[in-house]
């Protein structure tokens, strides 16, 4: 294993939450206010950070909410949906091996850090991660700075020796262009991007059990 630092996304990468939470939450919130989601809503939100997505929904659906009020309502909706989320198969075993081999691990997610902690604590893997970075605002994953910050905090200096693990093509592409070792994981929510993911990832996995440790 040549990668000593590992940066993990959560939703769709470690947990099965893309469909349950992030495809379901905007619909659930809009319906609270009598709005009908448009057909392209999911694809429109996929590449947006939390703040950008909030502004988009408030504007496009004329929601009677300030941005702060929106976050409060959305947190309620998301917290309820996250109670049904589980780890993807093979995640526990993969994290245990990384710990045993002395790798340093962090989480870099678009999801609020406190919500990530709640989910990972319930699933029993929170202590595997040294810290959590919220990929929002200037640290959105469409820019490489967030991965650089994570790598440096993990004690790394060489992107090629730092694994970035993602299910979303925009984030995987950002990491690939910046020289990181990119591991993609299949997820139903991003199935349409599989061909692109295979092109930009050093490894693209159908499941975590397929990880080639000799290459990672």
Q: Where are the domains of the chain?
A: 5-16+87-210, 19-82
Alpha-carbon distances of 91 from 24, 146, 157, 160, 210, rounded to whole Å: 23, 23, 26, 23, 11
Q: So what's the architecture of 19-82 in CATH?
A: Orthogonal Bundle (1.10)
Alpha-carbon torsion (131, 25, 40, 32), positive or negative: negative
Closest among 185, 199, 212, 148 to 13, alpha carbons compared: 185
Taking the CB of residue 170, how many other CB atoms lie within 10 A of it? 16
Say if 5-16+87-210 and 19-82 have the same CATH topology. Answer: no
CATH number for domain 5-16+87-210, candidates 3.40.50.1000, 3.40.47.10, 3.30.70.3270, 3.30.300.30: 3.40.50.1000
pLDDT digits (tens, 9 = 90+) for 64-84: 999 999 999 998 999 999 999
Q: Report residue 43's pLDDT band, with 50, 70 and 90 as the boundaries.
A: confident
Tell me how many degrees the CA angle 203-206-210 measures, rounded to the nearest 5: 65
pLDDT digits (tens, 9 = 90+) for 95-111: 999 999 999 999 999 99
Q: Which strand (E) or helix (H) includes residue 66?
A: none
* Global pTM value: 0.86
Rounded Cα gap, residues 198 and 201, in angstroms: 5
């Amino acid at each position: 294993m040549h990668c000593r630092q590992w940066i993990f996304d959560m939703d769709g990468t470690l947990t099965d939450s893309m469909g349950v939470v992030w495809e379901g939450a905007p619909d659930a919130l809009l319906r609270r206010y009598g709005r009908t989601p448009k057909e392209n809503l999911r694809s429109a939100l996929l590449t947006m950070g939390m703040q950008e997505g909030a502004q988009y929904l408030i504007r496009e659906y004329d929601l009677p909410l300030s941005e702060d009020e929106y976050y409060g309502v959305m947190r309620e909706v998301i917290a309820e949906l996250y109670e049904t989320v589980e780890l993807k198969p093979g995640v526990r075993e993969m994290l245990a091996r990384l710990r045993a081999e002395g790798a340093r691990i962090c989480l870099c997610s678009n999801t609020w850090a406190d919500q990530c902690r709640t989910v990972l604590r319930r699933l029993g893997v929170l202590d595997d991660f040294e810290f959590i970075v919220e990929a929002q605002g200037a640290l959105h994953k469409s820019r490489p700075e967030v991965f650089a910050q994570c790598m440096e905090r993990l004690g790394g200096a060489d992107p090629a020796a730092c694994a970035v693990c993602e299910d979303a093509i925009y984030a995987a592409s950002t990491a690939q262009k910046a020289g990181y070792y990119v591991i993609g994981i299949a997820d139903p929510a991003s199935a349409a991007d599989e061909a692109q993911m295979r092109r930009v990832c050093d490894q693209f996995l159908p499941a975590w059990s397929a990880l080639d440790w000799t290459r990672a």
